[in-house]
Structure 1
């Protein structure tokens, strides 16, 4: 693919992102944990799942609409929370929100983003912003953060619960990419080898308000994203329990989604505690290297909670056909994580819109070839693998 050519699918967007981003940053986004078995297993899982197509069906214009959290959506995708969009492109979180708005999708703002919910809301007025929550040790500060999200019109809160420890990412250590950032000759050469990113992203920050920081942390605590947060009040509380979930449910008056659920009993407990939706997720293969695949557990969770509860899914989705398989397994909608970041790196906000459009077209094509006029029809089809 020529350097200036538009990417045509996930693989080409990934290659353009790899060319644009420093290796340390690209690897942080692209790679997994430990031996990276989870990422390989996610890919194999999608490859091994095949449908028996039907013919002579009315599939000229498959209907991609879905219903999630009591609302109708034209397309079953959500832009997942990713903390480093502001490092991928200058003002990347705002660019992502604008792209999501253009594509008609919700965008989940991360607790550890480098642009605040207020700035994103101002920069992309009218967009459907959700907020992802990591809980701080200081509960009062956590509740203040929720009030900030609420005041910006956020009506869906996504609590991430699948990170009870810091995963082992050897490639980050090798590349010197961590918090705090470890300066090295390797890192310096990496930056020099990617001048478009170094000047176009970091250079613009340097000439503006300085290096990106953790925008949701109080001003006296917030550090550049390359530095550690040393105040123990703002360390992440990695071990939560159902009592906390019930308290959060009492405090948050809008939709509450729990992200990172894989066990059937956990999903049932989340709904019993009052949540409105669950994201069945292996964290993109970035946390536990031996976790089950969302596609393996989705049918069991769907059977346990019934047809009316909202289920999302993510992890390892590279094509619309991958999303189709999660939808067929029981998901109502699919979170997209790496794909929008690659689109953002490749072509900015336009690249995010482009990759979402490609996923949408691939999903529509899959339904047509499968002989499934609607997403529910996929679930009635015969599957092999």
Structure 2
């Protein structure tokens, strides 16, 4: 027979630990998030549909972004054994400076739409984590305000070339004067992609009140309170901001941008010049021959040309062609720290995350961005330990296999 007795308080203290309750609902939600997908779920619940869809959506049938994420899922990792991984080093050098992690925050437009703290939250979180922050031409915080929010960190500026060249050149000069060290010259947006979620939601700038948005006000009162009680929501670098994002892009951006414009910006920019939006090996080769300091393989997060090449699929070919002559980085589709590790193993010098950071921003402002970085940091370190590599330099193609799901059909 089992002998039973009433538990004594001292015994209970040894068996059960009582956690101090967290009174902040936001902090409870963020603490419960273990993955970027968890942050996305929180963001979807706490953000009006039009704002969430603007962030979450992509162009046309959203095939490009789905393929990019699938490409990272279709990865097999090959660990070594019997290596000391008591400590792992996640620091790296990129574009003439250091980063404590092998990813930075990608440039995203209209960021205060997601949360009123916008780019200031992203820049502050990046500075605290020791990683670069990139500000978009279509950002909702001024260049100087981002510099003030991240005074000791690395700030990058992403440039679109406008029909009015004086606007673009003025932004280049302001970014240089504010101490930004890298310019991301973006080449994948001659016109706006067809972002159908935005069209179906009637999304515009500023947001228009309809029956649907009125319901959103009722179900997301905090978001609307923040919108109505802070400075007007507008692009910091554009004087006219009425209309849909697509209409603004088509009106302001110049589809005739060419290599002469790249050369002109090279002449006036004192820092590292990186071309963002490269999608073929041939273009990577030509850009390197033109003397750029780096390239970003990117299909703009699937938000421009749907069915565009998957950057992760393209990466090994580009690294073989130009990896010894320039720094190859990439974005699009990264949702896990293992995605970052896989990209580095295949030769990428660095990666950038856009939506992953924005999900954190929507979920909890600056604290949400901190949580997103913390999640990715933990996943990178854990993946490195399980692969049994102690530094990023030890990663090599043998650690990763891209499993084949899509392959070109041979020509007849």
Q: If the length of structure 2 is used for normalisation, what is the TM-score?
A: 0.85
For 2:386, the equivalent position in structure 1 comes to 369
* Residue 183 of structure 1, CA deviation: 4.2
- Select the residue among 78, 92, 97 that pairs with 1:71: 97
Taking the TM superposition and a 5 Å limit, the aligned residue runs for 1:143-222 are 143-179=169-205, 181=207, 183-199=209-225, 201-205=226-230, 209=231, 211-217=232-238, 221-222=239-240
For 1:11, the equivalent position in structure 2 comes to 37
Contact 2:242 2:248 in 1 (8 A): no
Q: 1:308 to 1:162 in 2, by over 3 A?
A: same
Taking the TM superposition and a 5 Å limit, the aligned residue runs for 1:268-287 are 268-287=285-304
* Residue 228 of structure 1, CA deviation: 8.9
Say if 2:107 is the partner of 1:90.
no
For 1:223, the equivalent position in structure 2 comes to 241
* Residue 301 of structure 1, CA deviation: 0.7
For 1:334, the equivalent position in structure 2 comes to 351
Q: 1:351 to 1:274 in 2, by over 3 A?
A: same
* Residue 181 of structure 1, CA deviation: 4.8
1:91 and 1:75 mapped to 2: Cα distance?
Answer: 23
Q: 1:182 to 1:197 in 2, by over 3 A?
A: closer
Which segments of 5 or more consecutive residues in structure 2 lack a partner in the other structure?
A: 1-24, 404-412
* Residue 99 of structure 1, CA deviation: 0.7
Taking the TM superposition and a 5 Å limit, the aligned residue runs for 1:239-254 are 239-254=256-271
2:359 and 2:288 mapped to 1: Cα distance?
Answer: 34
For 2:158, the equivalent position in structure 1 comes to 132
1:224 and 1:167 mapped to 2: Cα distance?
Answer: 18
- Select the residue among 313, 316, 322 that pairs with 1:305: 322
Taking the TM superposition and a 5 Å limit, the aligned residue runs for 1:252-267 are 252-267=269-284
For 2:254, the equivalent position in structure 1 comes to 237
For 1:37, the equivalent position in structure 2 comes to 63
Q: 1:160 to 1:180 in 2, by over 3 A?
A: same
- Give 3-state SS (helix, strand or coil) of 2:184's partner: strand
* Residue 226 of structure 1, CA deviation: 6.5
Contact 2:190 2:253 in 1 (8 A): no
Contact 1:180 1:227 in 2 (8 A): no
* Residue 125 of structure 1, CA deviation: 2.6
- Give 3-state SS (helix, strand or coil) of 1:90's partner: coil
- Give 3-state SS (helix, strand or coil) of 1:108's partner: strand
Which segments of 5 or more consecutive residues in structure 1 lack a partner in the other structure?
A: none
Q: How many residues align?
A: 375
Contact 2:55 2:114 in 1 (8 A): no
Say if 2:137 is the partner of 1:116.
no
Contact 2:205 2:242 in 1 (8 A): no
For 2:407, the equivalent position in structure 1 comes to none
* Residue 29 of structure 1, CA deviation: 0.5
1:192 and 1:124 mapped to 2: Cα distance?
Answer: 35
* Residue 187 of structure 1, CA deviation: 2.5
Q: 1:91 to 1:351 in 2, by over 3 A?
A: closer
306-315 or 118-127, which moves further after superposition? 118-127
* Residue 214 of structure 1, CA deviation: 1.6
Q: Deviations over 1:315-369 (max 9, x none)?
A: 0111001111111122111101011111111121121112112111101111111
| Structure whose CA Rg is larger | 2
Cα RMSD of the aligned pairs, angstroms, is: 2.2
Q: Deviations over 1:144-172 (max 9, x none)?
A: 22111111111211111111221112211
Contact 2:279 2:298 in 1 (8 A): yes
Contact 2:342 2:400 in 1 (8 A): no
Say if 2:74 is the partner of 1:57.
no
- Give 3-state SS (helix, strand or coil) of 1:381's partner: helix
Q: If the length of structure 1 is used for normalisation, what is the TM-score?
A: 0.91
- Give 3-state SS (helix, strand or coil) of 2:396's partner: helix
* Residue 250 of structure 1, CA deviation: 1.2
- Select the residue among 311, 326, 338 that pairs with 1:321: 338
175-184 or 257-266, which moves further after superposition? 175-184
1:336 and 1:29 mapped to 2: Cα distance?
Answer: 13
2:313 and 2:201 mapped to 1: Cα distance?
Answer: 34
Say if 2:24 is the partner of 1:24.
no
Q: 1:90 to 1:179 in 2, by over 3 A?
A: closer
